[in-house]
Amino acid sequence: MRILVDERGKKYLLKDEEFHTNFGFIKKKDIESCKVGDVLKTHLGREFRVIKPNVNDYIKLMERKCSIILPKDIGMVIAYTGLGSGQRVLEAGTGAGAAAIYFGNIVGPEGKVYSYEVREDFVDVARANISGFALENVFVKFQDIKGGIEEKDMDLVFLDLIKPWEVIEHLNDVLKIGGYVAAYTPYIEQFQILQRVLKKFNFSQLNTLECILRDIEVKNRGTRPKTRMVGHTGYLTFARRL
């Protein structure tokens, strides 16, 4: 798995085929034999550097059929639940697989990520994306999570569903003691219902957060936050089985 970076920093996912851009092409055999750090030239002389994509490079370039959770939000989930190497994560729904890839990248070969998705087209895209990033610890299940959950001893259950509260009653059997539920919901009404249901099923440490990210520009004419910003993505609700 390698990507090319052009002189302006733009990145391109490499496949085992001839590489075409507006700046010329690179032959299939050059691509097959290149190593990370090499500089490849198109037939027009433009240079592209070969790098190993990290998880963000990959997620930006992979196929998606739906909106994708932003790094700021996945970062909150990881930090507030203390996700780490070797942990076990359950997710619903998979979407294009972005969160599952982030989780798989962190829990590593000793960890596991199980992700439920009801839309078959999403399952196909997500599986292709996950295997494209060479993750062997992420399992996408074409299954409705409301139909029951087989997995046990989870450290984290991450819910990116329209009605995450429908799943809560099963989670005491699914989570380890000390394990977390985290849910991503765009609307206020969603986390209001969710908190009520989490309380009903005796979850502890309920907390709803919103992460507002400001991008600061450092230019010759001066320093300032960017003129336009993302105003809102979603709220993150956390709870814990204690």
Residue 209 as a binder of a second copy (CB under 8 A): the answer is yes
Tell which residue, 206, 208, 212, has the closest CA to residue 190: 208
Name the residue nearer to a second copy (CB basis): 126 or 156. Answer: 156
Of 16-24, 26-34, 106-114, 164-172, which part binds a second copy (CB under 8 A)?
Answer: 106-114
Name the residue nearer to a second copy (CB basis): 31 or 74. Answer: 74
- Count Cβ neighbours within 10 Å for each residue of 180-207 and write b for 16 or more, e otherwise: bbbbbbeeeebbeebbebbeeeebeebe
Of 20-28, 81-89, 143-151, 163-171, which part binds a second copy (CB under 8 A)?
Answer: 81-89
Name the residue nearer to a second copy (CB basis): 126 or 239. Answer: 239
Block residue for tokens 């998705």: 117
Residue 95 as a binder of a second copy (CB under 8 A): the answer is no
Residue 172 as a binder of a second copy (CB under 8 A): the answer is no
Tell which residue, 237, 181, 240, 179, has the closest CA to residue 210: 237
Residue 221 as a binder of a second copy (CB under 8 A): the answer is yes
| Binds a second copy by CB under 8 A, chosen from 27, 32, 187, 200 | 187
| Binds a second copy by CB under 8 A, chosen from 108, 139, 142, 197 | 108
The site string for a second copy over 131-150 (x = CB under 8 A, - otherwise) reads --------------------
In the 8-state DSSP scheme, what is residue 5?
E
Least CB distance to a second copy at residue 217 (A):
8
Residue 207 as a binder of a second copy (CB under 8 A): the answer is yes
Alpha helices, H only, 34-179: 55-61, 71-81, 98-107, 120-132, 171-174
| Binds a second copy by CB under 8 A, chosen from 41, 43, 72, 163 | 72
Tell which residue, 241, 100, 112, has the closest CA to residue 171: 241
Residue 153 as a binder of a second copy (CB under 8 A): the answer is no
- Identify the three-state secondary structure at position 188: helix
Residue 115 as a binder of a second copy (CB under 8 A): the answer is no
Least CB distance to a second copy at residue 78 (A):
5
Q: What sign has the CA pseudo-torsion 143, 146, 147, 153?
A: positive
Neighbouring CB atoms inside 10 A of 114's CB total 25
The answer to whether the bond into 93 is cis (omega within 30° of 0) is: yes
Residue 10 as a binder of a second copy (CB under 8 A): the answer is no
Of 22-30, 90-98, 139-147, 172-180, which part binds a second copy (CB under 8 A)?
Answer: 172-180
